[in-house]
Structure 1
Amino acid sequence: MLISQKFLTHHPFAVLVDLGWVCESLGPPVMRRGASEFIRVATFGRGRRSACMDVDRHGQMSQFATYDAGEDTGFTAETPTALIALVQSPDGTPVQLLASIRDVTTRSML
């Protein structure tokens, strides 16, 4: 396993892989404005759904993740637990149910 893929063995990324999600890309190290360390942006996909999150140098999810179910509404998961709840949801789960998950907020994709 490449060092750049080692993060896939860490929580919550290992859970995504176990659920059939695929790491479609892992970007180069970048420094976000106001950040104290570099991150890499990882994008996962499964069908028409996608999840994107920053990965810190320790291979952990940094701050939050975004989730898109292929609809007009996107979601922000503030915790790894919230991200896992989103990715475990069946295709077609109503927006209201996804928005009711603890530590999840919605955003318009229009």
Structure 2
Amino acid sequence: MLSPATPEEVIDWIMTDLTNNPRRNFFEVAKSLWNWEAGDKLAAINVPTLIMVGKEDNKTPPHFSRLLHEKIPNSKLVVVENCGHYLLMERPDIVNTEIIRFLKDAGY
């Protein structure tokens, strides 16, 4: 779930957050995601779309993000090295840089 490069303080925060959330919440979210199907709607997205994923994410592996990228016109895929599932927590520097670059490239 996390990259070996994840800083210890980030691991501590994530573990605290996970243990403080009721299990039922986790299972309800997982169930809703498991049953969610929008593949046929992705081609209708008509705005620039940034898709980011950690290369070592084993919860939502990069191949799922590649599928999104293939189906969403005008999308950009960024696979972040040395990063797992918690992209925003593990590599905020890269996330910020990529968002700024994406917005500039889109004319914002």
Normalising to structure 2: TM-score of the pair?
0.28
Larger RCO (CA within 8 A; separation ≥ 6): 2
Larger Rg: 2
Choose between structure 1 and 2: higher strand proportion.
Answer: 1
